[in-house]
Amino acid sequence: MNVLEFLTPHLHLIKVRFMSHQTVLTAAHVVKRIMENPTKATNYVISGRNGATLPYGKFKIKQVHIPQRYLDKVDLDHDIAVLTLEENNGHSIGDVVKQNPMVLTNTVSIGNTISSMGYPGDKPFGTMWESKGKIIRQSTNRIDHDIDTVGGQSGSPIFNENHEIIAVHVSGGKYNNSSVKLNTEHIEFVLKYISDTSN
């Protein structure tokens, strides 16, 4: 059985980032393969996992939303996704976990300190870790940084010094790592699905 778990801190996009009462934010490449059948019994989000302990339970995935630009052609510039979740025992994920604000991020300052929280593949399974680093460079859609990350952290939030989400971690390399900015285009995409679930 292939279980797709999305591990999230106190629902920081650790694999998935929390955004509203019924939605979480992650990287498109993490969830693209389940887009055709998101409600499969083995697809769910786990927030705040600590080894075998699941303090908030599991939330089934209801829908996967990925920008059409990414679906048309896989492109790290638009590697972002929103998941709509079902309730668990009468509670939405936003009822039981802390939410961090997103902030419109069209530009950043090189050298600023940023941080990320995630579940790195080289640590004990299901344990969350925080790393800090600095912004190295930026483009219209991405932020390159030197936060120490490894496989398993895609979809993790990138926080500014105020602990606001400014980007989503999507890739790592030998000299730097990359994240997708929550710029005007991406914020508008995300907000569409937050408003769709808040009615």
Residues acting as catalytic residues? 29, 79, 154
- How many Å apart are CA 45 and CA 69, to the nearest integer? 25
109 burial type by CB count under 10 A (0-12 exposed, 13-18 middle, 19+ buried) = exposed
Element (H, E) at 69: helix 68-72
Q: Strands, E, within the chain: which ranges?
A: 4-8, 17-18, 23-26, 43-47, 58-65, 81-85, 113-118, 129-138, 142-145, 157-159, 165-172, 177-181
- How many Å apart are CA 30 and CA 103, to the nearest integer? 22
How far from the centroid of its chain's Cα atoms is residue 156's Cα?
4
* Residues pairing with 137 in the sheet: 144
